Amino acid sequence: MTDELTADEPSISPLSGPADPADPADPAAPIVAPSLFDATTVDCHHISAGDTVRLAVVRPPTAADDFSVSFEVWDPGGAQPPNSHPTSTETFWFLQGEGVAVSDGIELTIRAGQLLVLPPGSVHHIRNTGPGRLYAITTMLPDHGFAELIAAGPPAGLDDEDLALLRAAIPKQSR
């Protein structure tokens, strides 16, 4: 029998595995199963009113692991204010668009296809300098409340252009 996960299902399998993750020989603990999330169905928010960046938490942190994955959209000319995460590494995998990332005074030109890794404690912001929207998949490890901050912000929504970009990454036979 094959167990199939669908989006938003719990990610803990009824199978058993090591109780102590450091000891793979311990048969008492549950095995963590893969998780599947559908980015086209998540809620999107601004962190605060008037922002020009929208974020949708695609994978929230869990009790088992404190990291999150978000879909981020910068409107043309959009930017977030300088911000920092004292103990978290933040990554941005840019899917479409172009812009400038500034981290601790170092300015980098960014574009689709690049991965930006920001170390803990860096003061950073990203600005969309292109004619269209800038899109990224963002991870925060550890999350330390970042997903909650996003979810508490004013609703912003994903529009048809955003959803088209997300769906374009899905092979037609999988839709």
User: Tens-digit pLDDT profile for the chain (175 aa)?
Assistant: 444 444 444 443 333 444 455 555 566 666 677 888 888 899 999 999 999 999 999 999 998 899 999 999 999 999 999 999 999 999 999 999 999 999 999 999 999 999 999 999 999 999 999 999 999 999 999 999 999 999 999 999 999 999 999 988 655 554 4
Secondary structure string (H, E, C) spanning 63-115: CCCCCEEEEEEECCCCECCCECCCCCEEEEEEEECEEEEEECCEEEEEECCCE
Cis peptide before 142 (omega within 30 of 0): yes
Cα–Cα distance for residue pair 88/121, rounded to 1 Å = 7
Q: What is the pLDDT of residue 97?
A: 98
At 125, is the secondary structure helix, strand, or coil? Answer: strand
Q: What is the pLDDT of residue 28?
A: 66
Cα–Cα distance for residue pair 72/43, rounded to 1 Å = 12
Cα–Cα distance for residue pair 145/167, rounded to 1 Å = 28
Instruction: Fill in the amino acid letter for 9.
Output: E
Domains delineated in the chain: 1-36 (no CATH), 39-169 (2.60.120.10)
Cα–Cα distance for residue pair 138/30, rounded to 1 Å = 28
Q: What is the pLDDT of residue 4?
A: 47
What is the pTM (predicted TM-score) of this model?
0.80
